[in-house]
Protein backbone atom coordinates (compact mmCIF):
# COMPACT_ATOMS: atom_id res chain seq x y z
CA UNK A 1 0.00 0.00 0.00
CA UNK A 2 1.46 3.35 -1.05
CA UNK A 3 1.15 6.27 1.34
CA UNK A 4 0.36 9.86 0.41
CA UNK A 5 3.68 11.77 0.28
CA UNK A 6 4.15 13.99 3.33
CA UNK A 7 4.56 17.71 2.85
CA UNK A 8 5.74 20.65 4.90
CA UNK A 9 5.93 19.97 8.62
CA UNK A 10 5.18 16.24 8.22
CA UNK A 11 8.09 15.82 5.83
CA UNK A 12 10.41 17.88 8.03
CA UNK A 13 9.50 15.75 11.06
CA UNK A 14 10.10 12.50 9.16
CA UNK A 15 13.43 13.80 7.79
CA UNK A 16 14.52 14.59 11.36
CA UNK A 17 13.41 11.14 12.52
CA UNK A 18 15.27 9.34 9.72
CA UNK A 19 18.38 11.48 10.31
CA UNK A 20 18.29 10.45 13.97
CA UNK A 21 18.00 6.79 12.92
CA UNK A 22 21.09 7.19 10.70
CA UNK A 23 23.15 8.91 13.41
CA UNK A 24 22.20 6.28 15.98
CA UNK A 25 22.66 3.25 13.69
CA UNK A 26 26.09 4.38 12.51
CA UNK A 27 27.27 5.98 15.77
CA UNK A 28 28.08 9.17 13.88
CA UNK A 29 29.88 11.92 15.75
CA UNK A 30 27.36 14.56 14.73
CA UNK A 31 23.80 15.46 15.55
CA UNK A 32 20.92 14.54 13.28
CA UNK A 33 20.25 18.24 12.63
CA UNK A 34 23.71 18.58 11.07
CA UNK A 35 22.76 16.29 8.17
CA UNK A 36 21.76 18.38 5.16
CA UNK A 37 18.59 16.74 3.75
CA UNK A 38 19.73 17.44 0.18
CA UNK A 39 23.44 16.57 0.49
CA UNK A 40 24.66 13.27 -0.94
CA UNK A 41 24.79 10.40 1.54
CA UNK A 42 27.84 8.98 -0.28
CA UNK A 43 31.18 10.63 -1.09
CA UNK A 44 31.54 14.34 -0.45
CA UNK A 45 28.25 14.60 1.43
CA UNK A 46 27.88 12.43 4.52
CA UNK A 47 30.61 10.09 3.29
CA UNK A 48 28.78 6.82 3.79
CA UNK A 49 29.89 3.58 2.16
CA UNK A 50 28.04 0.43 1.11
CA UNK A 51 28.37 -1.18 4.57
CA UNK A 52 26.80 1.93 6.14
CA UNK A 53 23.92 1.72 3.67
CA UNK A 54 23.33 -1.94 4.60
CA UNK A 55 23.10 -0.96 8.26
CA UNK A 56 20.71 1.88 7.46
CA UNK A 57 18.57 -0.49 5.35
CA UNK A 58 18.31 -2.91 8.29
CA UNK A 59 17.25 -0.16 10.70
CA UNK A 60 14.73 1.23 8.20
CA UNK A 61 13.19 -2.20 7.59
CA UNK A 62 12.73 -2.80 11.33
CA UNK A 63 11.40 0.68 12.10
CA UNK A 64 9.13 1.25 9.11
CA UNK A 65 8.06 -2.29 8.20
CA UNK A 66 9.34 -2.74 4.64
CA UNK A 67 12.48 -4.10 3.00
CA UNK A 68 15.08 -2.00 1.22
CA UNK A 69 16.47 -4.54 -1.20
CA UNK A 70 20.06 -4.50 -2.44
CA UNK A 71 18.92 -5.47 -5.94
CA UNK A 72 16.52 -2.51 -6.29
CA UNK A 73 17.52 -0.54 -9.38
CA UNK A 74 16.31 2.67 -7.69
CA UNK A 75 18.83 2.42 -4.84
CA UNK A 76 21.11 5.06 -6.35
CA UNK A 77 18.20 7.51 -6.32
CA UNK A 78 16.78 6.34 -2.98
CA UNK A 79 20.11 6.71 -1.17
CA UNK A 80 21.23 9.84 -3.04
CA UNK A 81 20.14 12.09 -0.14
CA UNK A 82 18.37 12.06 3.20
CA UNK A 83 15.36 13.74 1.56
CA UNK A 84 15.07 11.04 -1.15
CA UNK A 85 15.46 8.26 1.41
CA UNK A 86 12.77 9.86 3.57
CA UNK A 87 10.38 10.24 0.64
CA UNK A 88 10.91 6.56 -0.22
CA UNK A 89 10.18 5.59 3.40
CA UNK A 90 7.03 7.74 3.43
CA UNK A 91 5.78 6.07 0.25
CA UNK A 92 6.46 2.50 1.38
CA UNK A 93 6.21 2.34 5.17
CA UNK A 94 3.72 -0.06 6.73
CA UNK A 95 4.15 1.15 10.34
CA distances from 81 to 1, 5, 18, 70, 95 (A): 23, 16, 11, 17, 22
What is the structure's pLDDT at 71?
87
Q: Is 24 in a helix, a strand, or coil?
A: helix
Lowest mean pLDDT across 16-20, 41-45, 53-57, 89-93: 41-45
What is the structure's pLDDT at 7?
76
Domain 8-92 matching CATH 1.10.1200.10: the answer reads yes
How far is it, in rounded angstroms, from Cα 32 to Cα 36? 9
What's the pLDDT tens digit per position in 22-65?
999 999 999 999 999 999 998 888 999 989 999 999 999 999 99
Amino acid sequence: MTQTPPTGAELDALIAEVAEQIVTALNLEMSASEIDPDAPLFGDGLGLDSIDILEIALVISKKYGFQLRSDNQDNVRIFSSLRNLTLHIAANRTV
